[in-house]
Structure 1
Amino acid sequence: MEQLGVDEQVSMTIEKEEMLLSSDSVAETPSPPFDDYFRLLKRNGMIKLKERDKKHDIIESGFLSGMGQFAKEVEVVSIHKNSCTTILGQARLEGFRIYSEAMRKKCGGNDNSKYAWFGSSKDEICNIISHGFSTTTEPKFGDCFGIGVYLYPTNIDGLFFLLRVLSAEEDENGLRHMLLCRVILGNTEVIEAGSTQFQPTCEYFDSGVDNLLAPKRYIIWGSYMNSHILPNFLVSFKGPNFLLGNSSKIKKVPSKPTSRIKFHDLFRVLSKFLHPSRTVLISKYYEDFQRNKISKLVLVRKLRQIAGDTSLRAVMKLYPNTIKQIGEKSLLLPHKGM
């Protein structure tokens, strides 16, 4: 786009460490909601794994490995295993086994089953554990590749780490929750970005991916969500500091802007995971700014509304090489809305 040329750049600063946990914000004992949460898990056949248990260590190691450079900022609080000992749990396990066998027959001996991560709010996670998946939707972050249940491969990190972790909303205890599921993919078809597809295009296909050779997203259609997805483990964790924007246990402390990024570089990175309609909108507002139709203040406000503060901070964190000190013309991006 012409308006985003190298010679036509706006720069902005963003505070890297705007939010810190208050010294008295972390309770030494779990709150009642936290106790209720674990009781609900136990009632539904979820068994808490002990640290140093072989399965616990394998899951924790794989989870942190996927966090890449953020692993040191993540604390795994608990890992639960789905024992499938309840009546409903046994039915789900048997149903999954039957569909897996059927898919193997259909696909010549390989059901193409994988492990994948699913993140959401604590309430939805609890509903899934208790009753199964109930809704399909567009992803909360990144491009839309159809209407279904979005899961993320265990071997992705970097930018797509955002999609995986941001899908796990922080609860009242400052925790995020992700299910490690076994997923029957069968024959996959590529779904284009921006698609509103909600079912296979024909009987040959069984699930969707964003890329056939190196998928970053698995899309399971609504008709298959409770037959082709089996939650195996639940990881509860505290996320990286730059994701603390929605925590009720956080207070803002004064800090100075520490780094800057050129608008051109910021736009290029954001366009990799924002929906095309959002990048077009950002480009439009930038063009208006270049033509003096809107002020810098309005441009920043619109950028934050469209991309979101959490995504902007994450981009700054994920791409430190794009951060450059650039002269005097800069836009301050404060924490609170202007």
Structure 2
Amino acid sequence: MDFSSGDVEAAVMRPTVPVAGGGAAVGPSALLRGWREFRRSAAPARFLCFEDGGWADVAGEAVGQLRRAFQDRRAMAEAACGGKAYLFDFLRMVRIDAATGEETALAWIDDRGACFFPAPGGGGRKRRRDDAPAEDEAESSSGVDERSGESRGAEDAAAKRMKASGAWGKSATARLEESGKYYQVVSKLFLSYGMASRGAVITAVRKVGQGARARAFQQQGQLLAATRGAAVGTPKFAWYGASAEDVAAVVESGFARTNAARLGGRKHGDGLHLSPPQCPYTSAMLAKADGSGEAHIVLCRVLMGRPEVVQAGSSQSRPSSDAYDSAVDKLENPQWYVVWSKDMNTRVLPEYVVSFKCPKLQPIQGSSEATSKPKKPSPGRDMFPTLLAEIEQLVPDKCDILQEYYSNFKMGQIKKDQFIRFLRSYIGDKVLTTVATKLRGC
């Protein structure tokens, strides 16, 4: 079986899970996300609703009515489609049936071609507004932004459960038999590209539970295929390496943080780094062996969409434009796939955990961003990317607006002094002074 292209083979790919539209209870973080997307979007050229397992265009006079309401910056609008009256909620990204109260996911594509879709995992069915979310909806993750405050706690809890029971939590308790088909396929993929020659021995292969995450992932694939083309929406296999604690947390509750800090200056942006299927050793070097010498690596499916090249050492944390979805170190035979943090819980689907021992494994000794001393700037160097990266660690809720203004400055739409005045007014002199002192190494 050929995995060299990185595309998912039918023999290993799990059966697809049907996805239905549906709104979910929206907390403050989700509403804030919707408000930011609403502000960021240009006038929509197309509106889409998720019906009968796929995205369908809103047609007729409703399109013009919704577009005018959006341009007037109204958060809600009424419109009729197919003889029914609906309320369109742009902040929650749902269409509400005025007669029944049923909610259906709403999305749009603006005049610039930028896509605005709701965070997946919000439900597996249409539902009334007063319905309680299903159990698998409640545990689904829509992204790191909505769980950043509890990420460390989730990792610690997962690590404690793993240490106490020797298991990987309720989401991945299916240990595969060595004689099984999928064990053979996954182990061959892991050992065929240099790991066996380095003395690697597999100690276990576990199947990760899916549920709401698989539905969210499938929905993202459909969105990418609809907006970028069918080939772009095809998932690939990729390896993710991390410590046992981080792997346990990912399996049980999703990605809480990226592994870019482990790579130090070799990172290609501040995103989740995964290696292609023919490069397991690259990600294995990010794994941390325990006292018995056992380490863990995760075989994932990943939706790359349209990647761009990001150079090593970059602090980029999002696509440079709406034309791109992810990043690579190089377009031809990449060694790293990079998925940005806002997408890592919807476009990366953990499939199998491979536990192994490898005496010749040389872990990467990356520097932690939390403890490493920033490099002093060289004369004439553009310090704004470094400055913004430090600011975003102190006030992460302001990073979207910061990046938007910085992009305007880089494109010459605003002058340097205007950008600096905006920084001072938006961030505050106290934060700027703290960051400047850190960058000077004082």
Q: If the length of structure 1 is used for normalisation, what is the TM-score?
A: 0.56
Report how far residue 242 of structure 1 moved.
5.5
Does 1:144 find its partner at 2:267?
A: yes
Cross-structure match for 1:77 = 203
Report how far residue 171 of structure 1 moved.
1.5
Q: 1:119 to 1:137 in 2, by over 3 A?
A: closer
Q: 1:134 to 1:33 in 2, by over 3 A?
A: closer
Cα distance in 1 for partners of 2:314, 2:364 equals 30
Report how far residue 243 of structure 1 moved.
4.2
- Counterpart secondary structure, 2:216: helix
Determine if contact 2:269/2:316 at 8 Å carries over to the other structure.
Answer: yes
Deviations 1:190-235 (A, max 9, x none): 0012211000011121100001121100000010010000000000
Does 1:46 find its partner at 2:168?
A: no
Identity %: 28
Does 1:61 find its partner at 2:183?
A: no
Cα distance in 2 for partners of 1:79, 1:198 equals 32
- Counterpart secondary structure, 1:226: coil
Cross-structure match for 2:423 = none
Q: 1:222 to 1:164 in 2, by over 3 A?
A: same
Cross-structure match for 2:229 = 108
Report how far residue 244 of structure 1 moved.
9.2
Amino acid at match of 1:96: F
- Counterpart secondary structure, 1:185: coil
Report how far residue 173 of structure 1 moved.
3.0
Cross-structure match for 2:405 = none
Amino acid at match of 1:49: L
Does 1:216 find its partner at 2:335?
A: yes
Match of 1:199 among 315, 318, 326: 318
Task: Provide structure 2 residue ranges, at least 5 long, that are not aligned to the other structure.
Answer: 1-159, 366-373, 376-442
Cross-structure match for 1:334 = none
Cα distance in 2 for partners of 1:190, 1:167 equals 21
Report how far residue 33 of structure 1 moved.
8.6
Report how far residue 34 of structure 1 moved.
7.1
Cα distance in 1 for partners of 2:363, 2:338 equals 28
Cα distance in 1 for partners of 2:361, 2:296 equals 17
Cross-structure match for 1:135 = 257
Determine if contact 2:168/2:251 at 8 Å carries over to the other structure.
Answer: no
Determine if contact 1:112/1:187 at 8 Å carries over to the other structure.
Answer: no
The 5-angstrom pairing of residues 1-338 of structure 1 reads: 36=164, 38-41=166-169, 43-67=170-194, 70-71=197-198, 73-84=199-210, 90-110=211-231, 111-141=233-263, 143-156=266-279, 161=281, 163-241=282-360, 243=362
Q: 1:195 to 1:153 in 2, by over 3 A?
A: same
Determine if contact 1:181/1:233 at 8 Å carries over to the other structure.
Answer: yes
Amino acid at match of 1:153: P
Determine if contact 2:262/2:364 at 8 Å carries over to the other structure.
Answer: no
Amino acid at match of 1:220: V
Amino acid at match of 1:78: A
Report how far residue 138 of structure 1 moved.
2.3
Determine if contact 2:162/2:168 at 8 Å carries over to the other structure.
Answer: no
Amino acid at match of 1:59: V
Report how far residue 133 of structure 1 moved.
0.3
Deviations 1:87-114 (A, max 9, x none): xxx1111111111111111111121421
- Counterpart secondary structure, 1:70: coil
Cα distance in 2 for partners of 1:245, 1:114 equals 24
Cα distance in 1 for partners of 2:332, 2:322 equals 21
- Counterpart secondary structure, 1:59: helix
Deviations 1:159-213 (A, max 9, x none): xx3x322101012332100000000000010001221100001112110000112
Deviations 1:52-106 (A, max 9, x none): 11110111111001225625x111000001232xxxxx11111111111111111
Cα distance in 1 for partners of 2:327, 2:163 equals 38
Cα distance in 2 for partners of 1:120, 1:155 equals 18
Q: 1:244 to 1:221 in 2, by over 3 A?
A: closer
Cross-structure match for 1:264 = none
Cα distance in 2 for partners of 1:245, 1:104 equals 35
Cross-structure match for 2:112 = none
Q: 1:36 to 1:204 in 2, by over 3 A?
A: same
Cα distance in 2 for partners of 1:34, 1:147 equals 28
Cross-structure match for 2:114 = none
Cα distance in 2 for partners of 1:100, 1:244 equals 33
Cα distance in 2 for partners of 1:37, 1:218 equals 33
Amino acid at match of 2:252: S
Task: Provide structure 1 residue ranges, at least 5 long, that are not aligned to the other structure.
Answer: 1-31, 85-89, 247-276, 279-338
Amino acid at match of 2:279: I
Cross-structure match for 1:292 = none
Amino acid at match of 1:39: A
